[in-house]
Amino acid sequence: MSNIHKAFENGKAFIPFITCGDPDLATTAAVVRTAVANGADLIELGIPFSDPTAEGPVIQGANLRALSGGVRTDQIFDLVRQLRTDVTVPMVFMTYANVVFSYGAEKFIATCREIGIDGLILPDLPFEEKGEFLPLCRQYGVDLISLIAPTSRERISMIAAEAEGFLYIVSSLGVTGTRTEITTDLDAIVRVVRQNTEIPCAIGFGISTPEQARKMASVSDGAIVGSAIIKILARYGKDAAPYVGEYVRSMKVAVMQCD
Amino acid sequence: MSKGRFGIHGGQYIPETLMNAVIELEEAYNHYKDDPEFVRELSALFNEYAGRPSRLYFASKMTADLGGAKIYLKREDLNHTGAHKINNVLGQALLAKKMGKTRLIAETGAGQHGVATATAAALMDMECVVFMGEEDTIRQALNVYRMRLLGAEVIPVKTGTATLKDAVSEAMREWTSRISDTHYCLGSVMGPHPFPTIVRDFQAVISKEIREQILEKEGKLPDAVLACVGGGSNAIGSFYHFIGDEGVKLIGCEAAGRGVDTFETAATIATGRLGIFHGMKSYFCQDEDGQIAPVYSISAGLDYPGIGPEHAYLHDTGRAEYVPVTDEEAVDAFEYLARTEGIIPAIESAHAVAHAMKIAPGMSPDQVIVITLSGRGDKDCAAIARYRGEDLHE
């Protein structure tokens, strides 16, 4: 088991997503540190992919900016090594199956363990395909995070029963991106999850305002926010850290109001 | 190992949001594929609407000119909408209709699959949205107009390289946001299971006919069957009923673009390596970090960085051979077939013609080659004219 459970020991969790290398790795490091200083409980670090099929235009843009800046997987490992000298909250990688596979799955996952990455979120690796990386993840003590979608229905119990680390509940149909309204019956999904596992679950996709975060965290164990943070990075670039810090603080305050 | 494997290739590497959709599709397909009513309706559409069976034409002048093997052309270019794409689309649209879907979405490269999908949607009273790389909407402007004329909405995709792979990505994104009334009519033998199997089965009519026709004309099986390969739907359709016949060489012709020793190529078997993308494990053109390569070919329909998983498997086992053909060779073959046989092939199909021109002279006159002409070349004339330096625009 990894350290992911620690992210859920400070009340409801707030989990920011940051694409590594957008616009450069120094900015990513500054943004991660300020997010932690402002109450982020777990950091989701995106390794950019050329063709991120689960992402909306905002995170696609971040992937493109990072890759245009020339960021490489090995440099991202170095970034994490450097962050781990002072950052103690759990950190997970969010990327696509080919980034792990192509690097050499064992080398990638062993490196995750070595540098202090606690989990892997791969949106194009559903339950049926997790055997691709699960044995190696178990061997090296890296949690392979499972996702549940609004369309999962009878699959929820099967996925939840075998989930590790935390469960990522996708709030809405479609790709990542901010939404004005989330209409999925998340209460019902979380009820089935709770019947099948004791690991925490957090909701992501479409969340941008403190009010949405509070609502999502009130039915689950935390809120995950990506696109809203990427928008701040897109707007302020290398100067984004203080603005992200301010935003993370407002979101953590909001999710804490659930308790 | 999960479902839909061809050796180590294939699988279902897609977001959880789509899993129930592909499971339902697989169940529906397994139910209908042997349903006599479905089979009867689909054959009626193939025969009465699409114009099947397509001809197997003996190219006597080409045969005489090259001075080797006898050459036959499987005329998929004579199908309604001008390409083999209609075979798969009629099958999937009929299946979608039976599943209660009212809307078809599709990706398209050259525009042939988009036109075929728009055609089936018009015929079956379904809504249709086609995603097409912005670059391709320029290269294939006439096909964009055709799709609109048929009542489809065409959405230019501006992300990435703005070509076929980006159109596939965008169609997948659209499907995750609207599943209940929408079927993703994937155009090639790629993507997550069950698409590679469904598309192959609907295209397998090509080799089923070739087999019957060549036995009737020659009294024996061909020595080689050639087809162009992007994702690989016309090729797998042309190969399928010969896979068990070891004596029949199966040759897939990949788009080498400006050459396999340049970065401007789309020859996946020649330059790619094993990866996971667009729902499948297969070979992909990619860099050291697994970033998918921005591939290039003069042919919008072959301009894809991957290859269908069954082809990857046929390559692994050595049952099929995959060869690269450059832009220049394909354009030469395009012009050659026009002048020699009075047939203008799609630039995609011209890749297969080009390889036949290389191997036929070295074969004996009692040997037989079948080349699948997957589509007609009207759509390519302006682009080829420009390639040859003429200032021609549609």
Domains and CATH numbers, chain A: 4-256 (3.20.20.70)
* Cα–Cα distance, A200 to A165 (Å, whole number): 8
**Residue A181 pLDDT > 90:** no
Would you call B158 an interface residue with chain A, using a CB distance cutoff of 8 Å?
no
Active-site residue, from B26, B76, B107, B341:
B107
**Residue A6 pLDDT > 80:** yes
Instruction: Measure the CA angle with vertex B9, ends B7 and B10; round to 5°.
Output: 120
For B21, name the nearest residue in chain A, comparing CA atoms only: A151
Q: Region A35-52: what's the mean pLDDT?
A: 98
- List CB contacts (< 8 A) between A150 and chain B: 17
For β-strands B9-13 and B279-284, DSSP reports them as: antiparallel
As a three-state string, the secondary structure of chain B is CCCCEECCEEEEECCHHHHHHHHHHHHHHHHHCCCHHHHHHHHHHHHHHCCCCCCEEECHHHHHHHCCCEEEEEEHHHCHHHECHHHHHHHHHHHHHHCCCCEEEEEECCCHHHHHHHHHHHHCCCEEEEEEEHHHHHHCHHHHHHHHHCCCEEEEECCCCCCHHHHHHHHHHHHHHCCCCEEECCCCCCCCCCHHHHHHHHHCHHHHHHHHHHHHHHCCCCCEEEEEECCCHHHHHHHHHHCCCCCCEEEEEEEEECCCCCCCCCCHHHHCEEEEECEEEEEECECCCCCECCCCCCCCCCCCCECCHHHHHHHHHCCEEEEEEEHHHHHHHHHHHHHHHCCCECHHHHHHHHHHHHHHHHCCCCCEEEEEECEECHHHHHHHHHHCCCCCCC
* Cα–Cα distance, B314 to B320 (Å, whole number): 5
For residue A217, the one-letter residue type is A
* Cα–Cα distance, B277 to B13 (Å, whole number): 7
Whole-prediction pTM: 0.97
- Tokens standing for B273? 């390596």
- Tokens standing for A203? 């909701």
Segments of chain B scoring below 50 in pLDDT:
none
- List CB contacts (< 8 A) between B173 and chain A: 53-54, 56, 174-175
| CA distances in angstroms from B18 to A131, B23, B194, B197, B203, listed in the order given | 19, 9, 12, 18, 24
Is B107 designated active site?
yes
* Band of residue A2 on the pLDDT scale cut at 50, 70, 90: confident
Is B177 designated active site?
no
Is B33 designated active site?
no
Would you state the pLDDT for residue B394? Answer: 65
- Whether A39 contacts A248, CB under 8 Å: yes
- Mapped onto helix, strand or coil, the DSSP state of residue A34 is helix
Residue tagged 């490196």 (tokens): A111
* Cα–Cα distance, B113 to B105 (Å, whole number): 11
Would you state the pLDDT for residue B178? Answer: 95
Do A101 and B275 lie within an 8 Å CB cutoff? Answer: yes
Q: Region A124-143: what's the mean pLDDT?
A: 98
Domains of chain B from N-terminus onward = 7-46+84-199 (3.40.50.1100), 53-82+204-387 (3.40.50.1100)
Residue tagged 């792979």 (tokens): B165
Would you call A129 an interface residue with chain B, using a CB distance cutoff of 8 Å?
yes
* Cα–Cα distance, A134 to A23 (Å, whole number): 32
Higher per-residue confidence, B175 vs A258: B175
**Cα B196 versus chain centre, distance:** 11
Would you state the pLDDT for residue B2? Answer: 77
| CA distances in angstroms from B143 to B112, B150, B373, listed in the order given | 7, 10, 19
DSSP-derived letter for residue A141 is T
Mean pLDDT of chain A: 96
Would you call B284 an interface residue with chain A, using a CB distance cutoff of 8 Å?
yes
Do A129 and B11 lie within an 8 Å CB cutoff? Answer: yes
Tell me what percent of chain A is helix, strand and coil, each rounded to the nearest 5.
50, 15, 35
**How high is the ipTM of this complex?**
0.97
Would you call A147 an interface residue with chain B, using a CB distance cutoff of 8 Å?
yes
Write b or e for each residue in A222-240: b if 16 or more Cβ atoms lie within 10 A of its Cβ, otherwise e: bbbbbbbbbbbbbeeeeeb
Would you state the pLDDT for residue B301? Answer: 87
* Cα–Cα distance, A214 to A223 (Å, whole number): 8
Active-site residue, from B85, B101, B165, B281:
B85
Query: What digits encode the pLDDT tens for the residues B95-135?
Result: 999 999 999 999 998 899 999 999 999 999 999 999 999 98
Q: Strand order of the sheet with strand B273-277?
A: B5-6, B9-13, B279-284, B273-277
In sequence order, the 6+-apart residues with CB closer than 8 A to the CB of B349 are B77, B228, B234, B371, B372, B373, B374, B375, B377
